[in-house]
Amino acid sequence: MDITMELLRELTKDEKKTWVIGGSKVSSENSSRGIKEPEVDGKYVTIEADNWHFHLALEDVTGIQFVDAESHDDMHSYYVRFSGPGYEDTLVRSYFSNPNLDDNEKRTEFQPEKLKVFEEFRDRYVGQEGIVSVIRPRRTS
């Protein structure tokens, strides 16, 4: 639980992240604008931003993965995934700025400095308390 909170605290320091709450059945994509430091109350942590918030049962986080996912065409997405039992249940994802998109989410030339932020962040945490790095190929229909 300590590493989960350390990671959540660090992730919430960046207003450029996108937070996705939920998994494959239902999910909500949220901007980090106005994000606050996480608040812990017993077994739960609350993450809150300007126009959304969520509560996460810390004991339900059984895995943390840093993911490099093939997405659209030749693009990749980079995020931290907090998962439930057996890595099967996606609870929350925090996306880093995409190196192929500008600040308006428009396609642009590859920006290596954005990828470097993800890689340095990942390298600080992978290997601690079971945190892993995963490369996820694009899903085919």
| Least confident piece of the model among 23-32, 51-60, 101-110 | 23-32
Residue 12 is encoded by which pair of tokens?
A: 């919430």
Map out the domains of the chain with their CATH numbers: 2-135 (3.40.1570.20)
| Separation between Cα atoms, residue 109 and residue 100, nearest integer Å | 6
What is the predicted pLDDT for the residue at 85?
Answer: 80
What is the predicted pLDDT for the residue at 1?
Answer: 61
Residue 34 is encoded by which pair of tokens?
A: 């106005």
What is the predicted pLDDT for the residue at 140?
Answer: 64
């890689």: which residue's tokens?
A: 119
Reported pTM: 0.92
| Separation between Cα atoms, residue 80 and residue 66, nearest integer Å | 5
What is the predicted pLDDT for the residue at 75?
Answer: 86
Residue 44 is encoded by which pair of tokens?
A: 């739960």
Question: What type of residue sits at position 62?
Answer: T
What is the predicted pLDDT for the residue at 100?
Answer: 93
Element (H, E) at 117: helix 112-125
Residue 40 is encoded by which pair of tokens?
A: 């812990």
> Mean pLDDT throughout 112-118?
96
- Show the 3-state SS of 56-114: EEHHHCCEEEEEEEECCCCCEEEEEEEECHHHCCEEEEEECCCCCECCCCCECCCCHHH
More confident residue, 39 or 138: 39
> Mean pLDDT throughout 31-42?
95
